């Protein structure tokens, strides 16, 4: 009888929380520095939720350890819906295969809604002596160890994507990790680093301004943000088709009613034409999310998928 009463009280508490939620500011932790693709998407989502729910949704950047520091901060927060994680594929589905992380994604975190996919682009300094991807690959391949590539951090999604590209293109280059995307791109623009495969969201503006040159995008189809840029899979890197994703996540034991309320709000603006156009402008691909339970299965599938990618790319335990 006591167990039944406890369950009923728990359900009642969850419903009460959802009905009054949110009644104060909500913190959205971004496990990356400002300017990174997840940060860009999180700010758009936070602003819209703030407008719809009438409470501040405040971005809190906690970068480091390939996204693990910010993710751990959410795991350790009260499971009441007032601390959320702007999660990307790196910390949830990739990092656990590269190094030990202080959380179990499927146990310690509760997915709320998938928001957008993020295509990547191969970028170099405009002065690099190649006119297309095939020339770039031929030059780097002919000079193993001579050139360098940057990433937003060891084990970060951009690191894995670039390593995967290197593996599939037969390139050997030195990895130079940074604490976030902006400095990793800045040193390419300054000519101190040769190249990287980084998000379209972070690179499109620099490409259009001429500060970076791109040789192709990581997805099998062209992206609306860079419609004139062909996929790398058409340019000599056969079967290279990859994108990361962005979703909103809560601590694992957050009441289901609170998660359901946030999911419903995100679905509303996810189908809004103006919001979809804003995502495209920012270099993101808006996606329709499955419900939270199905989304958890999606994360589980992604964990398995990236485990295979890490193994085939020879990255496990390499950093």
Please report, in tens digits, the pLDDT of each residue of the chain (319 residues total).
Answer: 554 544 445 544 545 455 689 999 999 999 988 888 789 889 999 999 999 999 999 999 999 887 899 999 999 999 999 999 999 888 899 888 888 899 999 999 999 999 988 899 999 999 999 999 999 999 999 999 999 999 988 777 888 889 889 989 999 999 999 988 899 999 999 999 999 999 998 999 999 999 999 999 999 999 988 999 999 999 989 888 888 899 999 999 999 999 999 999 998 776 778 888 888 888 888 888 999 999 999 999 999 988 877 776 677 654 4
Contact (Cβ atoms closer than 8 angstroms) between residue 195 and residue 187: no
**Residue 214 φ then ψ, to 5°:** -115, 150
- Report which secondary-structure segment, H or E, holds 181: helix 181-189
Neighbouring C-beta atoms of residue 94, cutoff 10 Å: 27
Domain 119-234 CATH superfamily? Periplasmic binding protein-like II (3.40.190.10)
pTM metric for this prediction: 0.75
Q: How far is the C-alpha of 75 from the C-alpha of 53, rounded, in Å?
A: 24
- Looking at residue 268, what is its pLDDT? 78
Query: Which among 80, 21, 16, 19 is positioned nearest to 53, based on CA atoms?
Result: 21
Where in the chain is CATH 3.40.190.150? 2-117+245-313
Which position has the token pair 């146990």?
107
Domain 2-117+245-313 CATH superfamily? Bordetella uptake gene, domain 1 (3.40.190.150)
Give the end-to-end CA distance of the chain in Å, rounded to a whole number.
53
Where in the chain is CATH 3.40.190.10? 119-234
Q: How far is the C-alpha of 284 from the C-alpha of 202, rounded, in Å?
A: 10
Contact (Cβ atoms closer than 8 angstroms) between residue 133 and residue 213: no
**Residue 283 φ then ψ, to 5°:** 90, 15
Three-class DSSP category at 122: strand
Tell me the Ramachandran region of residue 292: left when phi exceeds 0, alpha when psi lies from -120 to 50, beta otherwise: alpha
- Looking at residue 1, what is its pLDDT? 52
């Amino acid at each position: 009888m006591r167990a039944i009463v406890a369950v009923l009280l728990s359900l009642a508490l969850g419903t009460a929380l959802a009905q009054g939620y949110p009644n104060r500011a909500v913190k959205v932790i971004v496990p990356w520095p400002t300017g990174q693709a997840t940060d860009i998407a999180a700010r758009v989502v936070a602003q819209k939720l703030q407008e719809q729910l009438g409470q501040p949704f405040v971005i809190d950047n906690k970068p480091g350890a390939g996204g693990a520091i910010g993710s751990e901060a959410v795991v350790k927060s009260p499971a009441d819906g007032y601390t959320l994680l702007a999660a990307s594929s790196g910390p949830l589905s990739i990092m656990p295969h590269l190094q030990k992380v202080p959380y179990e994604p499927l146990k310690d975190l509760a997915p709320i809604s998938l928001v957008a996919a993020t295509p990547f682009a191969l970028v170099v300094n405009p002065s690099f002596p190649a006119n297309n991807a095939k020339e770039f690959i031929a030059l780097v391949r002919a000079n193993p160890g001579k050139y360098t590539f940057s990433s937003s951090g060891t084990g970060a999604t951009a690191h894995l994507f670039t390593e995967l590209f290197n593996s599939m293109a037969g390139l050997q280059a030195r990895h130079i990790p940074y604490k976030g995307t902006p400095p990793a791109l800045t040193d390419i623009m300054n000519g101190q680093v040769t190249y990287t495969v980084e998000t379209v969201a972070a690179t499109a503006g620099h490409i259009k301004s001429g500060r970076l040159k791109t040789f192709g995008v990581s997805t099998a189809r062209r992206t609306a943000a860079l419609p004139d840029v062909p996929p790398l899979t058409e340019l000599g890197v056969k079967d290279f088709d990859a994108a990361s994703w962005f979703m909103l996540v809560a601590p694992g034991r957050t009441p289901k009613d609170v998660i359901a309320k946030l999911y419903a709000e995100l679905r509303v603006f996810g189908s809004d034409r103006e919001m979809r156009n804003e995502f495209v402008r920012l270099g993101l691909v808006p996606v329709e999310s499955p419900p939270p339970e199905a989304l958890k299965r999606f994360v589980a599938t992604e964990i398995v998928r990236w485990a295979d990618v890490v193994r085939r790319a020879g990255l496990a335990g390499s950093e």
